[in-house]
Amino acid sequence: MGYNPDKPMDGRISDLGPPHYEKFFPPVIKANKGKWLWHEITQPGVLLHKSETGDEVYTVRVGSPRLVSVEYIREVCEIADKHCDGFLRFTTRNNIEFMVDSKEKVQPLLDTLTSYGNKYPVGGTGAGVTNIVHTQGWVHCHTPATDASGVVKAVMDELFDYFTSMTLPAQVRIALACCLNMCGAVHASDIAILGIHRKPPMIDHKRITGVCELPLAIASCPLGAVKPAKAMVDGKEIKTVKVTVERCMFCGNCYTMCPAMPLADPEGDGIAILVGGKVSNRISHPKFSKLVIPFLPNTTPRWPETVAAVKKILEAYAADARKYERLGDWAERIGWEKFFEKCDIPFTEKSIDDYRLAYDTWRTTTQFKFTSHIK
């Protein structure tokens, strides 16, 4: 039955939830669920899992741009039909995994993937750089300070060799969010790329009455910079808000709540780089990433400054960190002053926390190292 707009509730099906995941298990996964003994990475992008029943599963991990067309998905399905009996999965970092149940089937699959050129790059395993978790950017969102897909493509092009190899001390997770809503993983990633604003919102008094719930805009401000105010519009006094510019740190929360307070600005907006976050509990506890570069411009379409900054940090880490050491572990071991020196990043006052619980982040010890990179 087709949808009838005159009777929208007729024959309406709802609250089904997603289909049960077991329906989409490859047979070998279904048969060995909960029985896996060990696994190994046979080569970058290829994993082997061994079951107590003796069964083997070879997984081939492939990079994807996350934002894909139906044509792309159909092509992925074709590959899965040809080699994996029609089964495949996506990882939590939006890579694609093709699974086969014997070693002989791996090479033909790899050959098929290679035949597409770099469209389906095999990699993303072990101590390398896997896919970048990212957001919508200028493709779809209304609050971004930078683009997502464009920056991700530029960065991954530069770091491509790290995707297809496993040469780093530990895996490096890179994430991007196009505003500090931080959709995704930037607050807890080894290297995080974050869109930021540098100008206060512009208030459109003409529209504000109809489109804003003023108390929400006022309550949305983390610094109490938005205050109720009155303004004259067409000779009539209306209720509106004003922004204390000296208190505003350009988070954009008020624009999220109130469409009449836009703050995006081509020159003001750009990118901040944060580093040192992680979510695993391996050896050290999970960490938040910390701000190290306060501003890089939005230089479309290749963001050369951002790409260079990410690469520099990654290479300094790769050259200096010990095996198994995540970027944050490394920075904490050598001390953040040494991190700034080794990565040749000028330290600015923007990296000094000044928000509420800031005190704990300052140095309350005489233990520090002299550094020399800033004259």
Partner 1 sequence: MPTIEHNGKSFEVDEDGFLLKGDDFNQEWVDYVKGVEGISEMTDEHVKVIDALQEYYKKNGIAPMVRILSKTTGFPLKRIYELFPSGPGKGACKMAGLPKPTGCV
Q: Give the C-alpha separation, 147 to 271, whole Å.
A: 10
> Strand pairing of 270-275 and 290-297?
antiparallel
**Among 3-11, 40-48, 115-123, 362-370, which window interacts with partner 1 (CB under 8 A)?**
3-11
Is 179 near partner 1 (CB under 8 A)? no
Q: Give the C-alpha separation, 53 to 248, whole Å.
A: 62
Sheet holding 290-297, edge to edge: 174-177, 191-196, 270-275, 290-297
| Cβ distance to partner 1 smaller for residue 205 or 312 | 205
Q: Give the C-alpha separation, 258 to 214, whole Å.
A: 8
Is 11 near partner 1 (CB under 8 A)? no
Instruction: Find the shortest distance in angstroms from Cβ 292 to partner 1.
Output: 28
| Cβ distance to partner 1 smaller for residue 41 or 229 | 229
Binders of partner 1: how many residues, by CB under 8 A? 19
Which two structure tokens, joined as six digits, stand for 246?
């000296």
Chain-centroid distance, C-alpha 243 = 31
| Cβ distance to partner 1 smaller for residue 144 or 276 | 144
Burial readout 75-113 (b: 16 or more C-beta within 10 A, e: otherwise): ebeebbeebbeebbbeeebbbbbbbbbeeebbeebbebb
Instruction: Find the shortest distance in angstroms from Cβ 115 to partner 1.
Output: 42
Instruction: Find the shortest distance in angstroms from Cβ 12 to partner 1.
Output: 9
Q: Give the C-alpha separation, 327 to 276, whole Å.
A: 5
| Cβ distance to partner 1 smaller for residue 5 or 18 | 5
| Cβ distance to partner 1 smaller for residue 130 or 240 | 240
From residue 192 to residue 231, the character string flagging contacts with partner 1 as x (rule: CB under 8 A) and all else as - is ---------------x-xxxxxxxx---------------
Instruction: Find the shortest distance in angstroms from Cβ 341 to partner 1.
Output: 40
| Cβ distance to partner 1 smaller for residue 60 or 194 | 194
Cβ count near 25 (within 10 Å): 16
How is 118-140 classified by DSSP, letter by letter?
Answer: TSS-B---SSSB-PPB---GGGT
Is 8 near partner 1 (CB under 8 A)? yes
Instruction: Find the shortest distance in angstroms from Cβ 67 to partner 1.
Output: 19
Instruction: Find the shortest distance in angstroms from Cβ 224 to partner 1.
Output: 18
Instruction: Find the shortest distance in angstroms from Cβ 213 to partner 1.
Output: 4
**Among 1-9, 73-81, 300-308, 330-338, which window interacts with partner 1 (CB under 8 A)?**
1-9
How is 314-334 classified by DSSP, letter by letter?
Answer: HHHHHHHPPTT--HHHHHHHH
Burial readout 258-269 (b: 16 or more C-beta within 10 A, e: otherwise): bebbbbbeeebb
From residue 236 to residue 275, the character string flagging contacts with partner 1 as x (rule: CB under 8 A) and all else as - is ---x----------------xxxx----------------
Show contacts with partner 1 in window 112-131 (CB under 8 A): none
Single-letter amino acid, residue 91: T
| Cβ distance to partner 1 smaller for residue 9 or 70 | 9
Single-letter amino acid, residue 71: E
Which two structure tokens, joined as six digits, stand for 87?
């089964």
| Cβ distance to partner 1 smaller for residue 242 or 312 | 242
| Cβ distance to partner 1 smaller for residue 30 or 142 | 142
DSSP 266: T
Q: Give the C-alpha separation, 7 to 87, whole Å.
A: 39
Instruction: Find the shortest distance in angstroms from Cβ 239 to partner 1.
Output: 8
Instruction: Find the shortest distance in angstroms from Cβ 249 to partner 1.
Output: 19
Binding site for partner 1 (CB under 8 A): 5, 7-9, 181, 207, 209-216, 239, 256-259
